Structure 1
Amino acid sequence: MKKSTDADLAMSKSAVKISSDLLSNPLCEQEPSFLEMVTAFDTAMKRMDSFNQEKVNQIQKTVIEPLKKSSSVFPSLNMAVKRREQTLQDYKRLQSKVEKYEEKERTGPVLAKLHQAREELRPVKEDFEAKNKQLLEEMPKFYSSRIDYFKPSFESLVRAQVVYYTEMHKIFGDLTAQIDRPGLSDEQRERENDAKLSELRALSIVADD
């Protein structure tokens, strides 16, 4: 998303640079009709850049920043899983210790050590069961909520694009009405360009490659 908005801004800034360069071209001083066309184009490009900036700002606030906040939750989640895993290892270690004493002959010293091992195991077992229960209850909720969290951002992204492209349709529609010669097809324009290029190539000062 960040790469997309950066590319959008670069595109509109480049378009404004093109119109600015055209305005400073000597042709605009020599041809009033061309100056009028370029001025209309420059105004359209600046309007496009302004709306594009609004779109990017909207996406930043309603898409990029919420996703950053969402991703910040994952370290805490991962830490909870790691704490549960560490507690599980402690639980297994102490459980193994209890089982080892249970397998030995029930002498006084062994029974004492067995009792001590069980006492050590009890709080660790309770801690593990609490952490495990919490994850079993909350992980599905966390997983199922991800769509609900993302929906508003996705809707905002679509709305921002709709507003932007609606304005672009108006801007370029107005621009076309100002500078376009109606009735000419792209093929006719291409033939005109080819004809002009042939005239240029026919000049004696143009080298024949």
Structure 2
Amino acid sequence: MSWNPFKAGPKKQIVSKTVERDFEREYGKLQQLEDQTKKLQKDMKKSIEADLAMSKSAVRITSDLLGNPLCEPDPDFLGMVTALDTAMKRMDAFNQEKVNQIQKTVMDPLKRYGNVFPSLNMAVKRREQALQEYKRLQTKVEKYEEKERTGTVIAKLHQAREELRPIREDFDVKNRQLLDEMPKFYNSRIDYFKPSFQSLIRAQVFYLLLILYHPLYYF
């Protein structure tokens, strides 16, 4: 958004410095939260892809070994590789179940959470547009207030004030709503994500226990 710091604005202070500082602080926290949410989504996706790639690679390795002439002369070695192949396929199946669980309990909630930010950013943009229009009309009112009170000036001043009133009210509503909603949304993040990451931990632990204690793992 273009901004000219040398452009003359209204003499009357539209928004107090305290309110503007509070607004910028709360919106800054949301912008940081949005960036971190996107990063978390990206890293979780990479982690899932790496998990799947690892177990798929293990299955391919054992399949390649079974088809390798090295296994043919030695029944014991062939039996060991066959057991390994069975264990790796089971591991891959367990891993797929874990990934499906993580997708439902972590990735999908992350995506839904991230979808809120465009609406918030749009609300902030509309608030800024309302503020600029408020400033423009306030400057117009002040211009007529400074002029000599002729009949024409009084009429134009009255018209300018009438134009300003709904714009001021619209800005006040948008400003109050955002100042109320932004902290609430930010403070809700822990309650929202806590169940997701509890599920993530449980899925990882359950997967490890299945692998470590499944009899096929100890070929």
Same fold (TM over 0.5): yes
Give the C-alpha shift of residue 174 in structure 1: 5.1
Aligned partners of 1:52, 1:7: CA distance in 2, in Å?
11
TM-score between both structures, scaled by the size of structure 2: 0.78
* One of 150, 154, 165 as aligned partner of 1:111: 154
Aligned partners of 1:137, 1:117: CA distance in 2, in Å?
30
Aligned partners of 1:83, 1:174: CA distance in 2, in Å?
61
Report the counterpart of residue 175 of structure 2 in structure 1: 132
TM-score between both structures, scaled by the size of structure 1: 0.81
| DSSP 3-state at the match of 2:188 | helix
1:81-120 correspondence runs (5 A): 81-120=124-163
Report the counterpart of residue 122 of structure 2 in structure 1: 79
> Does residue 1:160 correspond to 2:160, yes or no?
no
Q: Deviations over 1:87-107 (max 9, x none)?
A: 000000000111111111111
Report the counterpart of residue 96 of structure 2 in structure 1: 53
Aligned partners of 2:150, 2:72: CA distance in 1, in Å?
110
Which letter maps to 1:156? S
Aligned partners of 1:81, 1:2: CA distance in 2, in Å?
30
> Does residue 1:23 correspond to 2:69, yes or no?
no
Aligned partners of 2:217, 2:145: CA distance in 1, in Å?
89
Aligned partners of 1:61, 1:175: CA distance in 2, in Å?
27
Aligned partners of 2:137, 2:69: CA distance in 1, in Å?
87
1:165-184 correspondence runs (5 A): 165-171=208-214, 175-176=217-218, 178=219
* One of 51, 63, 67 as aligned partner of 2:110: 67
Contact 2:55–2:91 under 8 Å retained in 1: yes
Give the C-alpha shift of residue 155 in structure 1: 0.9
Bigger relative contact order (CA 8 A; separation at least 6): 2
Aligned partners of 2:206, 2:128: CA distance in 1, in Å?
49
| DSSP 3-state at the match of 1:30 | coil
* One of 57, 60, 75 as aligned partner of 1:14: 57
Which letter maps to 1:87? A
Give the C-alpha shift of residue 25 in structure 1: 1.9
Give the C-alpha shift of residue 29 in structure 1: 2.2
Tell me the number of residue pairs that the alignment of Structure 1 and Structure 2 aligns: 176
Distance 1:175 1:74, change over 3 A: closer
Q: Deviations over 1:89-146 (max 9, x none)?
A: 0000000111111111111111111101000000000100011111111111011111
Gaps of 5+ in 1: 179-209
Larger Rg: 1
CA RMSD of aligned residues (A): 1.2
Which letter maps to 2:143? K
Give the C-alpha shift of residue 27 in structure 1: 2.9
Which letter maps to 2:86? T
Which letter maps to 1:96? T
Aligned partners of 1:124, 1:5: CA distance in 2, in Å?
50
Identity of aligned residues (%): 75
Aligned partners of 2:217, 2:61: CA distance in 1, in Å?
16
Aligned partners of 1:59, 1:10: CA distance in 2, in Å?
16
Aligned partners of 1:109, 1:146: CA distance in 2, in Å?
56
Q: Deviations over 1:138-173 (max 9, x none)?
A: 1110111112111111111111101111111114x7
